[in-house]
Structure 1
Amino acid sequence: MEGHRHNQQQQQLQNPSLLLLPPPPHPADHATLIAAYKPPIKAAITKLKNEEDHSERGSTLFVGIASPILALDGPNPHQKSLSWPVAQSVLARVYSIVAIVCAQLSVPSEMHAGPESIDVRVVFIDHDPSKPLPQDCHSAIDVNNTVIVGLPTFASAYHPWKQIFHVNSESGYRLFSSYLRIYERIQTLRQDQLIVVESGLAFTENSLSTTQTKMHSIVCLGGTFDHLHAGHKLLLTAAAILLNVPDQPTASPARFIIGITGDELLKRKKYAEFVQSWDLRVTNVIEFLASILELSKSGWAKPDVTRKDDKVIARFRDGTIEVHCVVLRDAFGPTTAEEEMDVLVVSGETRSGGDAVNARRRELGWYELEIFEVDVLDAEASIDSLTHTKKDFATKISSTAIRERKAEARK
């Protein structure tokens, strides 16, 4: 009996926590997002940091931004679209806030960085807190053609939680009430698991619905993904929300092709002895993407993963989404090995790489890829960043700086 109770306590310790945030302010620029979102994010991270019990791998915090982010795309109610430039901009700014807060609190925020770390993952929830839930609303998995789901599906598939944080504001309580109405049918919650946190400044809420973006069946990106940090999480999430997902299993699933730099190319990196192996980096990428892509009524589920030669394939949502992780041995990777793909996602720092890929594809007589550029994380725009915070901020979003920190810790 004692052993069973210990296992339950360990499982509870390992469960992630959730912070529910109401819709972004309007306009959703860096200053207004900091004013609205930094106080609750800082309060939740501080609470997790100050807990006495920590999992060996650290804590995980999902930041769920509830907003009517999707728009109907035709007469089919399950056919949705979104404005990708606006969505990725909000993601970048929220991850910047996370990195600023973690820098100020000296909290490592990369994946599995040890007992004192907090792995923060930002997800969108398609929901308008100003509108009441339908009377017949119940817990169920209801998908559309995007990776973003509504509140009932989010409640049905994302569980169990260690703690649920909600914001002390009118819109925050409306959202929390709607969520609990669905969620309490799934997990019995103790009062000490429900934590109200400080609200930021109130602004006019933003529906994020502007010019819509065409979704795509094959999305590609590349990177090292060493010590998966906020910049990597932003890139992976922003690329994933471009996927056009079939509504049922098909011979042509949505494909997310990720080139991950091979070990040989990283041997000359600074602090190379602390570079994670290709296998571990792939494992972390797939685990992180499961946060966004996998849906199961039983809660946290592991995807179906197979390996063949230099490729690892993870299947999500009954096989309607496939993530292909391949070894990058040069600057081009799969973009010049496979003609069939739609878009390439790059960061502002790797824009020239996208141009080089299309130049090479033209040489091969292939069509060019549409390039989508993700914003870089930015501490400069913070309304209260000081010089030391900017320096600390850089250590949260640089694999090299994370390896340097580990090298110093070993000394």
Structure 2
Amino acid sequence: MEGHRHNNNHQQQNPSLLLLPPPPRPANHATLIAAYKPPIKAAITKLKNEEDHSERGSTLFVGIAWSILTPSKTGPDPHQKSLSWPAVQSVLAHVYGIVAIVCAQLSVPSEMHAGPESIDVRVVFIDHDPSQPLPQDYRPAIDANNTVIVDLPTFASAYHPWKQIFHVNSEPGYRLFSSYLNMYERIQTLKQDQLIVVESGLAVTENSLSPAQTKTHSVVCLGGTFDHLHAGHKLLLTAAAILLNVPDKPTATPARFIIGITGDELLKRKKYAEFVQSWDLRVTNVIEFLASILQLAGGGWAKSDVTKKDDKVIARFRDGAIEVHCVLLRDAFGPTTAEEEMDVLVVSGETRSGGDAVNARRRELGWHELEIFEVDVLDAEDSIDGPTQTKKDFATKISSTAIRERKAEARK
């Protein structure tokens, strides 16, 4: 969020918001495409066609309001919340897949800070039950729970100011927009041209059973290069952050999100290596992106509290309740075999074998194994727009290698 610390005089620098009602049930590939592709495409098209592009491009937050958290069954505290990680990460993967498909179709670069024509899309979840009435005495307030997901009043209070707000032309869309605006207009005065109605998708609703709840963890770990931060990286970082168990008091031991980021030395033989971003820039982008999910400040977009020591950068969020440790990777294992105290390793389909290797090494050291959580791959098949590409072909189109190749072609 660092890039958006501006007042309304610099309105074009602020991000925009697309508010989406809850996902359809069942939330599978076909229903999510039908529900969410039209509004996402409409918002991205509108941003693409604007004339006042900033040098870094536009940023679009896609806020999905959904009754995602339930009171935890394990403790007496009603503020303790739990969620179903498989259900949440599946919706997240599908939505980032839709974003990638739309941006590819519109020829819009969607990685972070990719230049004036780019749109950096970031998906956030908002815990909101549309069937519950809003409190009459509502005042803007930050009310964090033990997860990284916030409720609608907290979202309205911490995420601002916006350049423009897109909302969906459907009954659930208007209901959500009205609830949100009721809170938000106490924070930012909006002009009519900042509020934009976009096409609604098809809503499909069937009864579904409440999935089993997932235990959240104090220390979550993952690794990657994070070069030219794109939709696949955003999915991985967000899905991992959702596994954090955030302490309610900043004085307690903070939740730690440990991210191994491949050092420059290990990337010298990559294809189009001259376009690989430096370790420092990749770390900066990871922290800025994670601020979108982790930072809560009543004053709106806030600069992150970052310290650097040797091969590690630590960013603190929510008054120190969450720490993100970006660690320089010199080998395949990094902090997972240097530090015993961690619980969880998050992997993608491509890095699954790395997770097995980490646990084999930890067994050799006499340490407990890490619980492995695997994030879905971005789904390439577009059920609506005719012929489907193969998943592999699609994955290569949005990879860091493909982005570097485009930059090499552009330079020629």
What is the CA deviation profile of residues 349-373 of structure 1, one whole-angstrom value per residue up to 9, with x for unaligned ones? Answer: 1111111100000000000000000
> Equivalent residue for 1:157?
158
Aligned partner of residue 225 in structure 1, secondary structure: coil
Stretches of structure 2 lacking an aligned partner (at least 5 in a row): 1-5
> Equivalent residue for 1:356?
357
Aligned partner of residue 196 in structure 1, secondary structure: strand
Once residues 255 and 377 of structure 2 are traced to their aligned partners in structure 1, the CA distance between those partners, rounded to angstroms, is 26
1:39 and 1:232, CA in 2 relative to 1: closer, same or farther beyond 3 A?
A: same
CA contact under 8 A between 1:258 and 1:323: conserved in structure 2? Answer: yes
CA contact under 8 A between 1:157 and 1:298: conserved in structure 2? Answer: yes
1:262 and 1:126, CA in 2 relative to 1: closer, same or farther beyond 3 A?
A: same
1:392 and 1:371, CA in 2 relative to 1: closer, same or farther beyond 3 A?
A: closer
Q: Which aligned pairs between 1:264-283 and structure 2 lie closer than 5 A?
A: 264-283=265-284
RMSD: 1.7
Find out whether 1:263 has 2:256 as its counterpart. no
1:405 and 1:65, CA in 2 relative to 1: closer, same or farther beyond 3 A?
A: same
> Equivalent residue for 2:247?
246
What is the CA deviation profile of residues 169-188 of structure 1, one whole-angstrom value per residue up to 9, with x for unaligned ones? Answer: 00000000000000000000
Once residues 68 and 208 of structure 1 are traced to their aligned partners in structure 2, the CA distance between those partners, rounded to angstroms, is 14
> Equivalent residue for 1:22?
21
1:171 and 1:347, CA in 2 relative to 1: closer, same or farther beyond 3 A?
A: same
How many residues in Structure 1 have an aligned counterpart in Structure 2?
405
> Equivalent residue for 2:182?
181
Find out whether 1:112 has 2:149 as its counterpart. no
> Equivalent residue for 2:3?
none
The CA deviation at 1:276 is 0.0
CA contact under 8 A between 2:380 and 2:394: conserved in structure 1? Answer: yes
Query: What amino acid sits opposite 1:69 in the alignment?
Result: I
1:205 and 1:137, CA in 2 relative to 1: closer, same or farther beyond 3 A?
A: farther
The CA deviation at 1:251 is 4.5
1:299 and 1:341, CA in 2 relative to 1: closer, same or farther beyond 3 A?
A: same
What is the CA deviation profile of residues 98-140 of structure 1, one whole-angstrom value per residue up to 9, with x for unaligned ones? Answer: 0000010000000000000000000000001232212122210
Aligned partner of residue 63 in structure 1, secondary structure: strand
> TM-score, normalised to structure 1's length?
0.95
> Equivalent residue for 1:3?
none
Once residues 189 and 92 of structure 1 are traced to their aligned partners in structure 2, the CA distance between those partners, rounded to angstroms, is 32
Structure 1 range deviating more: 390-399 or 143-152: 390-399
Once residues 301 and 206 of structure 1 are traced to their aligned partners in structure 2, the CA distance between those partners, rounded to angstroms, is 40
The CA deviation at 1:78 is 1.3
> Equivalent residue for 1:4?
none
> Equivalent residue for 2:324?
323
> Equivalent residue for 2:398?
397
Aligned partner of residue 211 in structure 2, secondary structure: coil
CA contact under 8 A between 1:24 and 1:205: conserved in structure 2? Answer: no
Structure 1 range deviating more: 33-42 or 133-142: 133-142
Q: Which aligned pairs between 1:360-399 and structure 2 lie closer than 5 A?
A: 360-380=361-381, 382-384=383-385, 386=387, 393-394=394-395, 397-399=398-400
The CA deviation at 1:206 is 7.8
The CA deviation at 1:76 is 1.7
Once residues 133 and 82 of structure 2 are traced to their aligned partners in structure 1, the CA distance between those partners, rounded to angstroms, is 22
Query: What amino acid sits opposite 1:156 in the alignment?
Result: S
What is the CA deviation profile of residues 270-296 of structure 1, one whole-angstrom value per residue up to 9, with x for unaligned ones? Answer: 000000000000000000000000000
Once residues 204 and 87 of structure 2 are traced to their aligned partners in structure 1, the CA distance between those partners, rounded to angstroms, is 17
1:327 and 1:178, CA in 2 relative to 1: closer, same or farther beyond 3 A?
A: same
Query: What amino acid sits opposite 2:40 in the alignment?
Result: I
Once residues 343 and 364 of structure 1 are traced to their aligned partners in structure 2, the CA distance between those partners, rounded to angstroms, is 17
Aligned partner of residue 236 in structure 1, secondary structure: helix
CA contact under 8 A between 1:253 and 1:321: conserved in structure 2? Answer: yes
CA contact under 8 A between 1:165 and 1:197: conserved in structure 2? Answer: yes
Structure 1 range deviating more: 233-242 or 372-381: 372-381
Query: What amino acid sits opposite 2:63 in the alignment?
Result: G
1:396 and 1:184, CA in 2 relative to 1: closer, same or farther beyond 3 A?
A: farther
Once residues 80 and 303 of structure 1 are traced to their aligned partners in structure 2, the CA distance between those partners, rounded to angstroms, is 26
1:207 and 1:322, CA in 2 relative to 1: closer, same or farther beyond 3 A?
A: farther
Query: What amino acid sits opposite 1:112 in the alignment?
Result: H
1:99 and 1:208, CA in 2 relative to 1: closer, same or farther beyond 3 A?
A: farther
CA contact under 8 A between 2:97 and 2:379: conserved in structure 1? Answer: yes
Once residues 19 and 205 of structure 1 are traced to their aligned partners in structure 2, the CA distance between those partners, rounded to angstroms, is 25
Once residues 262 and 99 of structure 1 are traced to their aligned partners in structure 2, the CA distance between those partners, rounded to angstroms, is 27
Once residues 177 and 59 of structure 2 are traced to their aligned partners in structure 1, the CA distance between those partners, rounded to angstroms, is 20
The CA deviation at 1:374 is 0.1
> Equivalent residue for 1:45?
44
Aligned partner of residue 282 in structure 2, secondary structure: helix
The CA deviation at 1:380 is 2.4
> Equivalent residue for 1:123?
124
Structure 1 range deviating more: 272-281 or 386-395: 386-395
Query: What amino acid sits opposite 2:97 in the alignment?
Result: S
CA contact under 8 A between 1:344 and 1:369: conserved in structure 2? Answer: yes
Aligned partner of residue 235 in structure 1, secondary structure: helix
Query: What amino acid sits opposite 1:281 in the alignment?
Result: R
Identity of matched residues, % = 88
The CA deviation at 1:397 is 2.2
What is the CA deviation profile of residues 223-264 of structure 1, one whole-angstrom value per residue up to 9, with x for unaligned ones? Answer: 000000000000000000000000011251000000000000
Find out whether 1:72 has 2:88 as its counterpart. no
> Equivalent residue for 1:292?
293
The CA deviation at 1:145 is 0.2
Structure 1 range deviating more: 274-283 or 136-145: 136-145
Query: What amino acid sits opposite 2:319 in the alignment?
Result: D
Once residues 298 and 386 of structure 2 are traced to their aligned partners in structure 1, the CA distance between those partners, rounded to angstroms, is 42
CA contact under 8 A between 2:272 and 2:404: conserved in structure 1? Answer: yes
Query: What amino acid sits opposite 2:318 in the alignment?
Result: R
> Equivalent residue for 1:54?
53
Stretches of structure 1 lacking an aligned partner (at least 5 in a row): 1-6
> TM-score, normalised to structure 2's length?
0.95
The CA deviation at 1:302 is 1.1
CA contact under 8 A between 2:101 and 2:382: conserved in structure 1? Answer: no
